[in-house]
Structure 1
């Protein structure tokens, strides 16, 4: 009784939370308090990476990152780089298994110092120790399975270096939210990259990100309609059949 009451109360609270969003578009997630926020405010650009002030008005060159030959690649905490996601994977797996076995055993004691003949007198009619037992067995198994999958995703997202590890590897993190009417599309990327893998255009492809976690989804009215209700989800878990 207590468990059922707790389940009903939980579902009611969840439902009330959903009712607050009726007629309202999904709200953006705040950036304050995130790792990106702290990374941005915890570090500042070094002097050699800030836009240089040209002392001589006739000079065409400057020594900062804004110069023609300056290195604009992300290298420390708080820097920004672009992650290029171009996933075009397909996989096809097909397996089949077959197994069969048959066996036959028989045994008897026709003669053993006259003992089988004496035992035959006490056995039911038609039974004889000459053919004590006869066994046949057979088993057959067949199995088949196949998997066909195809995925294609092409995205670009700006991420922030949130941590520089002792070995020089950079931890990156980035979120992107796009709201169209009452549907919010979300893209999240996290992982570890080597500074040497960052191109001169300050870009890196997803296949060079170690421990990459890429999530592309959404929330809103369309997403809610594509999901079963909370009651149905709970019933699917609790019901044994």
Structure 2
């Protein structure tokens, strides 16, 4: 093997390891986040009627999402708080006294003034206390698209928002399952009324890189986690 190739291989292996160290946990947001065009339905016979099953919308109700491709405004208001406390204590003491007043072949005065007495004491005390707290607060607004209508009428929605400012990009992705009865007037719904919610907010660019640990520090932290 050419010796000039070895440094290049070493650099490639090192870069591959760095990429593994910088791995970011994924969120299982439904993909794709936009509606996929469904195959066109078979051509229905022209009856001259206003009512059409595949595209019917009542004329006297507010516009609400009901078909694939419709949009729905989601009010994200997720707040999770958890506190755990634990206290334990153990206290144990013991005491023993023994003495000899007489022994065959030994003068009685040999046991006077506590010369043949024995006393022991033991004690063990343990106390422990622990408190764990976790709090997350996420709020925002995103407009999602109906990507699927389930047989029971529930809507599977997904949406994505990307905002780029200078050299930074902020990405917000959302997906979930909505009961049409939870949709409020104005075609909006609270995220707390959506099932199987998946929310992901990531940053790309210089600002996100400044908030992440450098790859060399991650490398040594992997080798020496203490």
TM-score by length of 2: 0.64
Superposed displacement of residue 164, structure 1: 2.5
Any unmatched runs of 5+ in structure 2? 1-7, 20-30, 42-49, 107-113
Q: Is the 8 A contact 1:159 1:174 kept in 2?
A: yes
Describe how 1:48-197 pairs up with structure 2 within 5 A: 65=57, 67=59, 69-87=60-78, 89=79, 91=81, 93=83, 95=85, 97=87, 99-106=89-96, 117=103, 131=118, 134-143=120-129, 145=131, 147=133, 149=135, 151=137, 153=139, 155-197=140-182
Any unmatched runs of 5+ in structure 1? 17-33, 46-53, 55-62, 121-125
Q: Is the 8 A contact 2:18 2:219 kept in 1?
A: no
Q: Which residue of 2 aligns with 1:9?
A: 12
Task: Please state which structure has a larger fraction of its residues in helix.
Answer: 1
Q: How many residue pairs align between the two structures?
A: 189
| Aligned Cα root-mean-square deviation (Å) | 4.1
How far does the alpha carbon of each residue in 1:13-44 deviate from its partner, in whole angstroms, 9 at most, with x for none?
5879xxxxxxxxxxxxxxxxx5344x331167
Describe how 1:202-241 pairs up with structure 2 within 5 A: 202-241=187-226
4+ residue runs over 4 A deviation: 5-8, 13-16, 63-67, 89-96, 107-111
TM-score by length of 1: 0.60
Higher relative contact order (CA 8 A, sep 6+): 2
